[in-house]
Amino acid sequence: MKKRTTNNPKSKNRHVAEDRSKKSGFKSAGSYYKSSGKLGAKGSGARPGTSKPFSEKPKTRSGNTAAKRSLDGKIRLNRFLAQAGICSRREADTLIETGVIEVNNKIVTELGIRIDPQKDVVHYGGEKIKVEKYQYVLLNKPKDFITTSKDPQNRKTVLELVSNACIERIYPVGRLDRNTLGLLLFTNDGMLAEKLTHPRNEIGKTYQIEVDKTIQSGHMKMMLEGIELEDGFAKVDDIQYADNGTNKSGAVITLHSGRNRIVRRIFEHFDYKVKKLDRIQFATLDKKGLPRGKWRHLTPEEVGFLKTL
């Protein structure tokens, strides 16, 4: 018979995890997500489902069964613990190896175990672990709000605008500076947040910009070819004059870089003063039907499209 913690296990195990985190240098899931915009590092490959006990190592499969591995609803145990806010995925591996995690009332010590969050029951220190429901909220950001969870100068933050969207804690995917308007996505799905912000995935973002003078066609060509900024090479994917070409001091610009103030810095490189910058599209999402300062939940179809990018 396994001995379980009975005296306030939640508090005790939180201190255990924190002590191990301090010794190993790991961050908790909450602080990790806040600082990096994700709940944990992207997982390696999935392992096939199996009806055998967790203590037995499942046999590998090949061929046509590979496609089913991502569709069986199972995720790695360390990812489950990270999404539940217990710790980071690396710290979760340590907890698993030390034998303090139970799956279906059996102690699990093998790394790489996959579980079905909808069917399998996970305990940590005698307490059942539950993952929060994923939320996806799209905001049409107004001016004078900063993209942060808390500001030491007590300026208005974007989280104030979505505070009543859901009971779960959600975080912005990427950022818009204080004076930039437009689309900003919030979620507690760290895997999707990482996917949408990682440079290797080249997720497109489209902006409408207004500057203080006529934009020279030669400068637009140079933006397409690429220019050298103080922090490296930068280029746009597409740029056109605004209002079907009738507005020469405005442009619609698409790029996939997420570097800080990248659009403003590209135009400032050519001595244009930016008067207005508005993100009108992010990945497959646009502002249609979403007034300034308002938010809405994504539809299941929209979430599905984002996950296939």
Point out the residues that are catalytic: 177
Yes or no: say if 286 and 278 are a contact pair by the CB < 8 Å rule.
no
- Residue pointed to by tokens 């961050």: 27
Cα gap 201→281, rounded to integer Å: 16
DSSP string, the chain: ------SSHHHHHHHHHHHHHHHHTPPPHHHHHHHHSSSSPPP-------SS-TTSPPPP--GGGGGGGGTS--EEHHHHHHHTTSS-HHHHHHHHHTT-EEETTEE---TT-EE-TTT--EEETTEE--PPPP-EEEEEE-TT-BSSS--TT---BHHHHTTTS-SS--EESS---TT-EEEEEEES-HHHHHHHH-GGG---EEEEEEESSPPPHHHHHHHHH-EEETTEEE--SEEEEEGGGTEEEEEEEEE----TTHHHHHHHHTTPPEEEEEEEEETTEE-TT--TT-EEEPPHHHHHHHHH-
Nearest to 236, CA basis, from 214, 263, 211: 263
